[in-house]
Amino acid sequence: GLELDSSVIRKNKDAMLDNREAGNSSEKLATALGYAAHILQLLAAYFDIPLRYPVFANNSRSYICDLVPSKPEGRDRKGGRDAGGTAQRGPPPPPEKVKFPLYIDHVGVERERTRFAYAIFLLNKDIEQILNAHGLDAFGVAPHYTLSNLHKLLLYCN
C-alpha cells in the first residue's frame, strides 16, 4: 500500500508546510524507499553484483552513497601541483563516500530536497545496473520509474 509519490520532491516550501499530511506522506515515501533499498541490496548480494552506488538500507532512514574524488593536501586544481608549482607524486587519495538520504527530514530546505532527489536518481541507476547485467533495459531513471524497474527485476528473478 506504499507509493513513491515524486510530488514530494517538487512541492515548494509553503505548500508542504500548509499541508497537514506532509510529514506523514514524506514518512510513507521514506518507508517505501527503505523497502526498495533493502530489496535492491538483497538482489545485488544474490546476483553477486557490486553496486556502483552502495545502498545502506535502514528502514525509513536509508541512504545511498556516491564516491567523490578527494583533493589531496598541497595540490591545487590545475595539474596536481602544490602551491610552489612542484608536481606531486604518488597515488591519488581514495575517493570520499558522500551519503545521500532516501528520506526528507526538513521538507522546506531546498538543499535537502536536492540531495533527496539525487539519492532517488542514484537508486534508480543501481536498479538499472542490475537490469543491464541481465540483458534487460530499464524503463528510465526518473523517480516514477523506481517501482516499475524494481518490479521488472523481480519478475526476472521469478
What are the tens digits of pLDDT across the range 61-96?
999 999 888 776 655 555 555 555 556 677 878 888
What are the tens digits of pLDDT across the range 11-37?
544 444 455 555 577 788 888 899 999
pLDDT for residue 90: 74
Please, is 94 exposed, middle or buried when counting C-beta atoms within 10 Å of its C-beta (0-12, 13-18, 19+)? exposed
The C-alpha atoms of residue 129 and residue 63 are separated, in whole angstroms, by 18
81 phi, psi to nearest 5 deg: -110, 150
